[in-house]
Amino acid sequence: MTETNVDTLNAVQEAVAEAVGIDLDEAEPDATVLGELGAESIDLLDILFRIERKVGVKIQASEIAELLQGELSDEEFEDADGIISSAGLAQLASVLPQIDVAELAGKLTADQVMTLFTVRNLAEMASARSALAAEAS
């Protein structure tokens, strides 16, 4: 992922705090949005809307899922029981460098993947979008 602009990180922290109803200092960069901060899927949509208003980039929840799964098919990403495969874990580690692959191996389910996404990961995604938009103009 790309280097995160401090202003973008601050805007994402504010968006998360406002949407989830927590204090700004609780929206730490390494806090997981759908895990530690207790956001639900509807909150994620609110967060993404707030990021769009604050940063000027549009991110859809489906794009986060696409980022996490990469180019892997569903069958390559997870096994028949919904456990993330070794290829899936490698993909996740490439976009979520904070995860411990060894700890998650054989245990992480597809339903839990989004709970690994942090405030920082979201800010990095917004920063990358901003950089792309700046290059295009």
Which CATH number characterizes residue 55's domain?
A: 1.10.1200.10
Residue at 1 is within a domain: no
Residue at 40 is within a domain: yes
Residue at 116 is within a domain: yes
Provide φ and ψ at 116, rounded to 5°: -90, -15
User: Residue 125 sits in which domain range?
Assistant: 6-136
- Residue pLDDT, tens place only, 25-82: 999 999 999 999 999 999 999 999 999 999 999 999 999 999 999 999 999 999 999 9
Residue at 107 is within a domain: yes
Instruction: Determine the pLDDT at residue 3.
Output: 57
- Residue pLDDT, tens place only, 105-122: 999 999 999 999 999 999
Residue 132 has pLDDT above 90, yes or no: no
Instruction: Determine the pLDDT at residue 102.
Output: 96
Residue at 108 is within a domain: yes
Residue at 99 is within a domain: yes
Residue at 58 is within a domain: yes
Q: What's the rounded Cα separation, in Å, for the pair 17 and 47?
A: 9
What the block records as the tokens of 124 is 């990095």
Residue 136 has pLDDT above 90, yes or no: no
> Would you state the torsion angle of the CA atoms of residues 77, 102, 36, 27, taken in this order, to the nearest 10 degrees?
-90
Residue at 63 is within a domain: yes
Burial of 15 from C-beta contacts in 10 A (0-12 / 13-18 / 19+): buried
Q: How many domains does the chain have?
A: 1
- Hey, which residues does 83 pair with through a beta bridge? 109
